[in-house]
């Protein structure tokens, strides 16, 4: 039973992060899906200088479909506001959102909880990225700890390119991480309401599934489901569900994994508000599981709740 039929649903999109344009694309798709299902839905395009609480009160929303990405929308800030306003929302709660958005906190919990993840180091003031990279072994991945959509991420194969990669990552939110690059296959796992929906393997033509490959280029290949043998498929699903549960996630999520040539599965991160654009991965996974876009949007709405 859908308890939100007839309720006023605010689709919050845009936001204040570097992923604003992706969020707007996600939000507009979600709004169309909700309207197609007969929901009383309204777009709330939040931007710089606007007070989200005022906008929510003006629209008199009963629930929020959170289509924000990145800082302030995916990191527990908006979730905390909605908890205070007692407005149910989609996605994970305050704590899980904050942890999953912070790659350092996520890595520490993965290491303690037994979820396999690549070797990593958070650069502290005065640390030499060159010493870390030599210790880790080339190539390395340099990334900001509190961004999504591959914003500020560089795969560094040569030492002479390392300083530029660190400078790029330093320009975004959070500390900078240097992580061991895992060669092999990129597989992502979709989850909904504590269950695995399915998998997708990504084969970008550029060799790296960066922002351009995700949202601009049209030559990235997506294989749904990921063509894994039974043992690898089971391992990827199990690691992803373990990561989701270990962080305390709720509702929908997508887990990014790498599988090395020897069959080792490594969890990179958990996306608690995965993209919902026309090219996003969760809708592709859901479609193979029998959920078209509009039905996926409706199913996610049914998971909306106060989490704390």
- By DSSP bridging, strand 40-46 and strand 8-14 are parallel
| Selection from 16, 66, 14 nearest residue 271 by Cα | 66
Provide mean pLDDT across the span 32-60.
97
- Establish whether 93 is a catalytic residue: no
Sheet of 8-14: strand order equals 40-46, 8-14, 63-66
* Catalytic status, residue 74: no
State whether 112 and 245 are in the same domain.
yes
In the block, which residue shows the tokens 């007692």? 86
Our answer to whether residue 17 is catalytic in this structure is no
Q: Is 275 a catalytic residue?
A: yes
Tokens, residue 127 = 């640390």
pLDDT, position 222 = 94
Split into its structural domains, the chain has a count of 3
Q: Give me the pLDDT at residue 115, please.
A: 98
Q: Are 129 and 14 found together in one domain?
A: no
pLDDT at 204: 82
Same domain, yes or no: 176 and 191:
no
The model's pLDDT over 64-96, given as tens digits with 9 standing for 90+, comes to 999 999 889 999 999 999 999 999 999 999 999
- For 51, the token pair is 């007070």
For the chain, what percent of residues have pLDDT higher than 70?
94
Residue 308 lies in a domain: no
Q: What is the pTM of this model?
A: 0.92
Q: Which residues contact 296 (CB under 8 A, 6 or more apart)?
A: 33, 282, 283, 286, 287
* Residue 1 falls inside a structural domain: no
* Annotated catalytic residue within 209, 211, 215, 293: 215
Query: Do 156 and 247 have their domain in common?
Result: no
Kindly name the residue from 269, 280, 293, 307 that is annotated as catalytic: 269
The one-character DSSP state at 216 is T
Q: Which of 146, 237, 254, 307 is catalytic?
A: 254
pLDDT at res. 210: 54
Instruction: Report the CATH number that the domain containing residue 163 is assigned in CATH.
Output: 3.30.1490.20
Under 8 Å CB-to-CB from 195, ≥6 apart: which residues?
Answer: none
At which residue do the structure tokens 């996003």 appear? 280
The token pair at 299 is 């199913």
The phi and psi torsions of 191 (rounded to 5 degrees) equal -130, 150
Same domain, 274 and 193: yes
Of 275, 293, 298, 307, catalytic = 275
Residue 211 falls in which region: left (phi positive, over 0), alpha (psi -120 to 50) or beta = alpha
174-226: pLDDT as tens digits: 899 999 999 999 999 999 999 999 999 999 876 655 555 455 556 789 999 99
> Do 42 and 27 belong to one domain?
yes
Here the tokens at position 160 are 């002479």
CATH number at 41 reads 3.40.50.20
Identify whether 308 is a catalytic site residue.
no
202: domain CATH number is 3.30.470.20
What pLDDT does 207 receive?
A: 60
Q: Which domain holds residue 175?
A: 120-180
User: Taking 80 as the threshold, does the pLDDT of residue 49 lie above it?
Assistant: yes
């Amino acid at each position: 039973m859908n308890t939100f039929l007839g309720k006023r649903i605010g689709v919050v999109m845009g936001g204040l992060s570097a992923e604003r344009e992706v969020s707007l694309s996600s939000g507009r798709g979600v709004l169309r899906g909700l309207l197609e299902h007969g929901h009383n839905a309204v777009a709330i395009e939040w931007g710089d200088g606007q007070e989200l609480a005022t906008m929510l009160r003006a629209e008199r929303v009963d629930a929020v479909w959170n289509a924000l990405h990145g800082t302030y929308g995916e990191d527990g800030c908006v979730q905390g506001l909605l908890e205070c306003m007692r407005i149910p929302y989609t996605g994970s709660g305050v704590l899980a959102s904050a942890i999953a958005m912070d790659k350092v906190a996520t890595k520490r919990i993965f290491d303690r909880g037994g979820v396999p993840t690549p070797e990593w180091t958070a650069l502290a003031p005065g640390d030499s990225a060159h010493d870390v990279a030599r210790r880790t072994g080339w190539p390395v991945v340099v990334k900001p700890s509190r961004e999504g959509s591959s914003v500020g991420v560089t795969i560094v194969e040569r030492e002479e390119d390392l300083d530029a990669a660190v400078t790029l990552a330093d320009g975004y939110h959070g500390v900078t991480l240097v992580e061991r690059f895992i060669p092999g296959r990129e597989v992502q796992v979709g989850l909904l309401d504590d269950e695995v929906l399915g998998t997708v393997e990504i084969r970008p033509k550029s060799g790296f599934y960066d922002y351009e490959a995700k949202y601009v280029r049209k030559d990235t290949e997506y294989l749904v489901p990921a063509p894994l043998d039974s043992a690898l498929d089971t391992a990827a699903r199990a690691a992803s569900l373990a990561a989701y549960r270990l962080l305390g996630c709720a509702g929908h999520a997508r887990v990014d994994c790498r599988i090395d040539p020897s069959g080792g599965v490594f969890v990179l991160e958990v996306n608690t508000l995965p993209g919902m654009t026309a090219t996003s991965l969760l809708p592709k996974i859901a479609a193979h599981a029998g959920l078209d876009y509009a039905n996926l949007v409706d199913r996610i709405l049914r998971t909306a709740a106060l989490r704390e």
